[in-house]
Amino acid sequence: MTAADWLHFLALHLSWSLLAVGGAMTLAPGLHRELVIDRQWLSEVQFQDCVTLAQATPGPNVLYIALAGWTVGLNAASTAPAAVKVFLPGLGLLLALGGVLLPSSVLTVVITRWLHHHRERLAVRAFRQAMAPVVVGVMMATAVVLGSAVVRGGPCTGARCTLCGRPESHRGQRDHRRTDAGESALVDRGRGRHRSVACGGVPGLTRTRKTPDSPRVTPTCRQRMNVAAIPTLAAAAPAGA
């Protein structure tokens, strides 16, 4: 990666910062598209690992972006001159996390100060009070969505077959099975239901549709899973970090 590449990397993260309304996971599809598919700075598996690890370890989920930056740096370090090698992972991490947090943080601080300065205004006081029911509603919806996902038996990874676009099913990750060759084949289960989780921080915008009857294994769908959606339902819930 050249210096220009690193600048582009930083610019990408800065541009995403103000778009992350509703949480850091809303950025996942964009990140994936840019870093894994378009630029190939990161492999599919590495990206998935970043997200999984960030959710499995304590702390806000936004750190998956930092880890992705670290991994990009690691990847770049493999082809970099020895003098720079050791700094690249750290650089990637700083540019990623700093870039994605800086604009929104500045905005937050500025607005907080403005609101505090004008806190006696009726509109300001009304606004703060008015959002209270919404907040409680969003939290409860999150709890419902998370809880029902657990009851249904595990998170929906939102993964899709890259060819047919059909999502992995809740009840069976069995629906997308890995063949002996390590590829993934879509195994149709007749009238099973598929659910898909849309991106955008929406608490499980699920669509239920019946699959058409079709042969047991669809020969055209032998592609590796493409995780283009939010990996777990927990991440899709709005009250996550």
CB of 114 to other proteins, least distance (A): 11
Q: Is 179 in the site for other proteins (CB under 8 A)?
A: no
CB of 214 to other proteins, least distance (A): 25
> In the block, which residue shows the tokens 């991106």?
199
The answer to whether the CB of 55 falls within 8 A of the CB of 86 is no
Distance between start and end Cα atoms, the chain: 31
Q: Is 22 in the site for other proteins (CB under 8 A)?
A: yes
Among 1, 12, 17, 160, binds other proteins (CB under 8 A): 17
Of 32, 69, 44, 27, the closest CA to residue 200 belongs to: 27
CB of 213 to other proteins, least distance (A): 27
Q: Compute how many other C-beta atoms are within 10 angstroms of the C-beta atom of residue 89.
A: 18
Element (H, E) at 38: none
Q: Is 75 in the site for other proteins (CB under 8 A)?
A: no
Q: Is 84 in the site for other proteins (CB under 8 A)?
A: no
Of 34, 26, 203, 51, the closest CA to residue 104 belongs to: 26
Q: Is 123 in the site for other proteins (CB under 8 A)?
A: yes
Q: How far is CA 228 from CA 18, 165, 214, in A?
A: 21, 10, 25
Q: Is 113 in the site for other proteins (CB under 8 A)?
A: yes
Q: Is 161 in the site for other proteins (CB under 8 A)?
A: no
> 17 or 75: whose CB is closer to other proteins?
17
Q: Is 83 in the site for other proteins (CB under 8 A)?
A: no
> 80 or 115: whose CB is closer to other proteins?
115
Among 3, 4, 132, 181, binds other proteins (CB under 8 A): 132
Can you tell me the distance from the alpha carbon of 25 to that of 99, in angstroms, rounded to the nearest whole number? 16
> 125 or 209: whose CB is closer to other proteins?
125
Q: Is 121 in the site for other proteins (CB under 8 A)?
A: no
Among 1, 24, 72, 187, binds other proteins (CB under 8 A): 24
CB of 74 to other proteins, least distance (A): 9
The residues near 221 (Cβ < 8 Å, ≥ 6 apart) are 161, 163, 164, 166, 184, 185, 186
Among 83, 120, 212, 219, binds other proteins (CB under 8 A): 120
Can you tell me the distance from the alpha carbon of 80 to that of 88, in angstroms, rounded to the nearest whole number? 9
The answer to whether the CB of 196 falls within 8 A of the CB of 206 is yes
Query: Which parts of 45-64 interact with other proteins (CB under 8 A)?
Result: 45, 48-50, 52-63
